[in-house]
Structure 1
């Protein structure tokens, strides 16, 4: 089952510097896409995850698994690498749940919501 990281590319953190020509979400998306290159984790951009108070936001999703929304990231290589590392652990888990002890340090404190998988049609 493929795990996908959805990155909000319209996120702007408080104090966003508009002179950079990119939103904070675009900057984080660039970093996550680079970190995910060559892995089994997929990425996609989406304009707006509606978590503006906790920008920058991402989701970690896979069909039939628990899905997560994370936010309040600073667009840094360390954050991007931790998000991709967590997504890889999510992909390896049959339920999507990853034991806390295995979480990369840089994602701890960033979880916003957990969503149960949608029921499959029977």
Structure 2
């Protein structure tokens, strides 16, 4: 199953300035993640994950697996590499759960939410 990294491309930290910054922080992080990702994971950009107080935000999701929202990243190569590495581990996991000892350092402290997979039927 494919794991997706959904990247908010409208995220901006408080120091963002439209007059001097050509891209939002989310656009910068998205470009770095896209450059780092390979066939194990897919990426997509969306406009707003509604986590503005924790910009830059990403969601890591896969059908039938736990899903995670992470935020408060700086748009850096280190953050992008950590996000992609975690997504690759998510893809390799049957449930989407990745043991803490395997988390890349760059994503520790950035988890915002965890969502259970949707039920396969109308029964919860």
Tell me the TM-score normalised to structure 2 length: 0.95
How do 1:4-43 and structure 2 match up within 5 A? Answer: 4-18=4-18, 19-36=20-37, 38-43=38-43
Stretches of structure 2 that go unaligned for 5 or more consecutive residues are none
- Between the aligned partners of 1:39 and 1:107, the Cα distance in structure 2 is 21
Deviation at 1:54, TM superposition (A): 0.2
Tell me the TM-score normalised to structure 1 length: 0.96
- Between the aligned partners of 1:30 and 1:51, the Cα distance in structure 2 is 19
Q: Which residue of 1 aligns with 2:105?
A: 105
Q: CA RMSD in A?
A: 1.0
Stretches of structure 1 that go unaligned for 5 or more consecutive residues are none
- Between the aligned partners of 1:64 and 1:33, the Cα distance in structure 2 is 24
Deviation at 1:40, TM superposition (A): 1.4
How many residues are matched?
Answer: 121
- Between the aligned partners of 1:4 and 1:67, the Cα distance in structure 2 is 10
Write out the 4+ residue segments of structure 1 that deviate beyond 6 Å after TM superposition. Answer: none
